[in-house]
């Protein structure tokens, strides 16, 4: 495609070969979920790129809404590079995360990304490339401040939230309207004592260019006034339809009955408000509100540096999901997204790499479950506590160097972990058959994977072949085998661990961290001058 637009940068074509890892539950840290059937509430401690890779097989096309608040790249994180190289590094690290996030989304799912001006333009083009420009929904402007910073040349009062859909048309079908605010509800009056209750009204005219011949006429009110529209306008309804609406009492003609007709919309029939892109701090909160929420949970000395207000996340989840849907945040920070999703009775998956997983995320979510978090949206949604989550750690790398520098299977792996991990690498599902030992992992209907630490002999393969049907195919992964037996049967392949895996990915890497340094944070009150 000669007209395709593409963002290029140094290092873009150097692909990351990410190792698929197992998620190992730390049952001591899981909370409130003993035998309650909860599966999708997951708090994962570990590098978020490795964690996303671990989720890929089970959760592809299952996540309804993803919200992420990645580092904004506003500081001198890469001091040995020039500005161009800094942007390049950031893009190279954010790209594979967004690629996996897209895979995880349901067909009607959406991705919401908080960002500011430092990387917004680059991120927009990158996401256009990954999602396709046709699936860009909008760029929300969030008014994050309540007061000006007089030190700035032009005051930075907002952040962006880029919104992308897996399939824009599917997203349009499921997108929820926002509930009316108290202020919006006050606009509904009932001056004519309409039995259908309070209403508001909208203009009954339309642009002439959109009208048909039946929408051009002179309207005569019941009181006898003739109303002729200018050439640029036509009526929204045909004459017959307008008269029907008047007879039904659904048209307001003013107190004297001679006004220009307006269509009534009743509060009782309102399905909510269509979201728009300007989100004021009055509606969804601001930085100071977020800090106060964090201070109430963790104390001012231990509060998270750059939290988001719960009302902001609530709005996103309201628009993009319904109860029971799965919400994911792979930059969980202080746990805001998971806390809000839990209070709103959504399932959730949160990933946090650092100590914040223990000191902030777990502490906060435990309080939510115990009904001891009284801040944020708690009262708005009438949250009383309940539910739970599973706490997961990433398994260590499968292949390590021994004392001689040779690649060997990590001794921390037991037989089940080894079999499940090799299955991940080979694209099989680990589900051991209770009666047939070699049907350990399943591919398609008749293909299987068997992982063992035994030395495989010809006689051993023969014994397995006698149990197989002609339509079945088996891969045996083992530490060693007799020379030549890998070619003994057409429907049995023998491979050696770790050699069979070495070219598949990068083993031993534990950190794909963005490692961005944030600028100094100031209290907004200190900026008023």
- CATH code for position 142: 3.40.50.150
Phi-psi region of 46 (alpha: psi -120 to 50; beta: other; left: phi over 0): left
- Say if CB 115 and CB 141 are below 8 A apart: no
In this predicted structure, what is the pLDDT of residue 10?
79
pLDDT tens per residue across span 382-420: 999 999 999 999 999 999 999 999 999 999 999 999 999
Instruction: For residues 148 and 214, state if they share a domain.
Output: no
In this predicted structure, what is the pLDDT of residue 78?
40
Domain end point (choices 368, 394, 420): 394
Distances (CA, A) of 283 to 110, 278, 359, 483: 22, 10, 30, 71
Domain end point (choices 219, 250, 269): 269
* Percent of the chain surpassing pLDDT 90: 77
Instruction: For residues 156 and 303, state if they share a domain.
Output: yes
**Phi (first) and psi of residue 521, to 5 degrees:** -100, 135
What is the rounded CA–CA span in Å between residue 520 and residue 527?
A: 13
> Structurally, how many domains does the chain consist of?
3
What is the rounded CA–CA span in Å between residue 232 and residue 141?
A: 33
Domain end point (choices 357, 374, 394): 394
Which residues are paired to 31 by β-bridges? 389
pLDDT tens per residue across span 128-176: 999 999 999 999 999 998 877 777 778 889 999 999 999 999 999 999 9
Instruction: For residues 427 and 385, state if they share a domain.
Output: no
Task: Report the chain's mean pLDDT, rounded to a whole number.
Answer: 90
Q: Is residue 516 part of a domain?
A: no
Asked if the model's pLDDT at residue 2 lies above 60, the reply is no
Burial class (CB in 10 A: 0-12, 13-18, 19+), 435: exposed
Terminal CA-CA length for the chain? 54
Instruction: For residues 173 and 102, state if they share a domain.
Output: yes
Instruction: For residues 158 and 293, state if they share a domain.
Output: yes
- Reported pTM: 0.87
Q: Is residue 51 part of a domain?
A: yes
Tell me the residue range of the domain where 482 lies.
399-496
Name the pLDDT band for 34 (thresholds 50, 70, 90). low
Asked if the model's pLDDT at residue 212 lies above 80, the reply is yes
Pairing of strands 441-442, 447-451: antiparallel
pLDDT tens per residue across span 174-211: 999 998 888 889 999 999 999 999 999 999 999 999 89
Instruction: For residues 387 and 481, state if they share a domain.
Output: no
Instruction: For residues 59 and 168, state if they share a domain.
Output: yes
Q: Is residue 8 part of a domain?
A: no
Instruction: For residues 205 and 340, state if they share a domain.
Output: no
Burial class (CB in 10 A: 0-12, 13-18, 19+), 417: middle
pLDDT tens per residue across span 259-279: 999 999 999 988 889 999 999
Instruction: For residues 380 and 239, state if they share a domain.
Output: no
Q: Is residue 195 part of a domain?
A: yes
Pairing of strands 63-68, 105-115: parallel
Instruction: For residues 352 and 460, state if they share a domain.
Output: no
Instruction: For residues 251 and 329, state if they share a domain.
Output: no
Q: Is residue 460 part of a domain?
A: yes
Instruction: For residues 237 and 306, state if they share a domain.
Output: no
pLDDT tens per residue across span 331-362: 999 999 999 999 999 999 999 998 999 999 99
Going through 56-197 in order, the beta strands assigned E by DSSP cover: 63-68, 105-115, 136-143, 158-165
Asked if the model's pLDDT at residue 293 lies above 70, the reply is yes
């Amino acid at each position: 495609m000669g007209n395709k637009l593409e963002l290029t940068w140094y290092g873009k074509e150097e692909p990351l070969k990410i190792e698929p890892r197992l998620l190992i539950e730390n049952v001591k840290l899981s909370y409130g979920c003993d035998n309650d059937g909860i599966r999708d509430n997951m708090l994962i401690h570990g590098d978020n790129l490795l964690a996303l890779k671990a989720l890929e097989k089970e959760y592809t096309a299952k996540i309804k809404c993803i919200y992420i608040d990645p580092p904004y790249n506003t500081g001198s994180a890469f001091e040995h590079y020039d500005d161009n190289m800094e942007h390049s590094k950031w893009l190279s690290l954010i790209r594979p995360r967004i690629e996996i996030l897209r895979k995880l989304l349901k067909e009607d799912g959406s991705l919401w990304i908080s960002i500011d001006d430092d990387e917004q333009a680059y991120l927009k083009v990158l996401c256009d490339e990954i999602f396709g420009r046709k699936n860009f929904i909008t760029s929300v402007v969030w008014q994050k401040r309540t007061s000006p910073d007089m030190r700035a040349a032009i005051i930075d009062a907002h952040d962006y939230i880029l919104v992308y859909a897996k399939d824009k048309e599917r997203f349009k079908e499921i997108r929820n309207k926002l509930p009316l605010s108290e202020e919006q509800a006050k606009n509904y009056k009932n001056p004519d004592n309409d039995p259908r209750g309070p209403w508001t009204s909208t203009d009954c005219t339309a642009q002439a260019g959109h009208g048909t011949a039946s929408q051009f006429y002179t309207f005569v009110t019941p009181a006898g006034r003739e109303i002729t529209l200018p050439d640029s306008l036509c009526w929204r309804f045909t004459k017959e339809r307008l008269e029907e609406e008047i007879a039904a009492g659904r048209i307001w003609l003013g107190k004297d009955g001679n006004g220009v007709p307006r269509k009534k919309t009743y509060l009782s029939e309102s399905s909510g408000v269509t979201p728009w892109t300007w989100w004021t701090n009055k509606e969804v909160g601001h930085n100071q509100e977020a800090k106060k929420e964090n201070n109430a949970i963790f104390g001012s000395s231990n509060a998270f540096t750059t939290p988001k207000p719960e009302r902001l996340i609530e709005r996103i989840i309201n628009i993009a999901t319904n109860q029971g849907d799965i919400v994911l945040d792979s930059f969980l920070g202080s746990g805001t997204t998971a806390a809000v999703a839990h209070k709103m009775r959504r399932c959730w998956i949160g990933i946090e790499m650092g100590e914040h997983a223990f000191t902030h995320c777990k502490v906060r979510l435990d309080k939510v479950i115990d009904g001891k978090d009284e801040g944020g949206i708690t009262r708005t949604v009438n949250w009383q506590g309940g539910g739970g989550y599973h706490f997961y750690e990433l398994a260590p790398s499968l292949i390590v160097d021994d004392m001689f520098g040779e690649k060997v299977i990590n001794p921390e792996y037991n037989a089940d972990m080894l079999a499940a991990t090799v299955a991940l690498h080979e694209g099989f599902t680990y589900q051991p058959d209770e009666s047939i030992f070699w049907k350990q992992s399943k591919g398609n209907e008749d293909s299987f994977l068997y992982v063992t630490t035994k030395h495989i002999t010809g006689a051993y393969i023969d014994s397995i072949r006698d149990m197989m049907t002609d339509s079945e195919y088996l891969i045996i992964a083992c530490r060693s085998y007799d020379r030549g037996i890998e070619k003994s049967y057409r429907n049995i392949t023998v491979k050696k661990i770790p050699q069979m895996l070495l070219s598949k990915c990068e083993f031993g890497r534990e950190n794909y961290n963005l490692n961005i340094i944030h600028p100094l944070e100031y209290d907004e009150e200190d900026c008023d001058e």
